[in-house]
Amino acid sequence: MSQRKRILINHLSAPANKITGITNYLFFLLDELLKNQDFEYILLTCWNQKELPEMLNNRGLQVITEKEIQSQPFALLRQHLLIPKLIKEYKIDLEFVPSPGGCLFSLHPRIIVVHDLYMKVLKEHYKPMHRLWWNLFFPIKARTAKQIICVSKNTENDLHEYYPYTKNKSIAIPNGPCLKADENYQMENKENFGVFVANVTPNKGAKTLIGVMIISGV
């Protein structure tokens, strides 16, 4: 029997033991990926293993926990020192980064995930320093990635608009909801309604949504 391929999941860019949109995306994705026995998954994260969701326990997932580093330049330096070492030590076939984070350069195949391009399309909502890091680091990561996954077609369109050289390496894989609906639920009120699920921050567009609702008379 051939040896299973090993995938390193680089989750170091996410805060420790705190649910974010990217972390939630990754955990539910892992829940599905672990059903495939053709691969071994090694999770590199700042999360303590005991804090990981129960659905990931006792399923063969290897976890490597590193201390969280707040400074982005120092965190990036740590990755450049650590990732090549782990690639060699664990004989990794592919690195998967569930965000635009990770190393600038790599000698191994790497897939990154782009969830949005807020730093370009809504840059007024971000501090100049955050935009500077993005403009310095992301173009390099995009060029050196083997493939780029976008969580929607709109995000992929934005990616192509600002970084045309990604057209031959990007793919849109829609990010479905992590919520499970009750199929037996019966609505009492049949009037139109909508559900807005997001952090209530300016970049999520809540103000725009409310404005549209007012104009449309909803």
Number of domains in the chain: 1
- Asked if residue 190 belongs to a domain, the reply is no
Whether 64 maps to a domain, the answer reads yes
Domain membership flag for residue 213:
no
Query: Rounded to 10 degrees, what is the CA torsion of 102, 113, 201, 180?
Result: -130
3-state secondary structure of 7: strand
Euclidean distance between CA atoms 204 and 119, whole angstroms: 12
Rg (CA), the chain: 19
41 within some domain: yes
Q: Residue 11, class by beta-carbon neighbours within 10 Å (0-12 exposed, 13-18 middle, 19+ buried)? A: buried
Any domain includes 186? no
* Residue 91 counted as domain residue: yes
Q: Is 177 among the domain residues?
A: no
Query: What is the residue range of 134's domain?
Result: 5-172
Q: Domain with 95 in it: what CATH number?
A: 3.40.50.2000
* Residue 201: inside a domain: no
pLDDT digit of tens for each residue in the chain (218 aa)?
Answer: 458 999 999 999 999 999 998 999 999 999 999 999 999 999 999 999 999 999 999 999 999 999 999 888 899 999 999 999 999 999 999 999 999 988 998 889 999 999 999 999 888 888 899 899 899 999 999 999 999 999 999 999 999 999 999 999 999 998 766 666 677 777 676 666 677 777 677 767 777 888 887 887 76
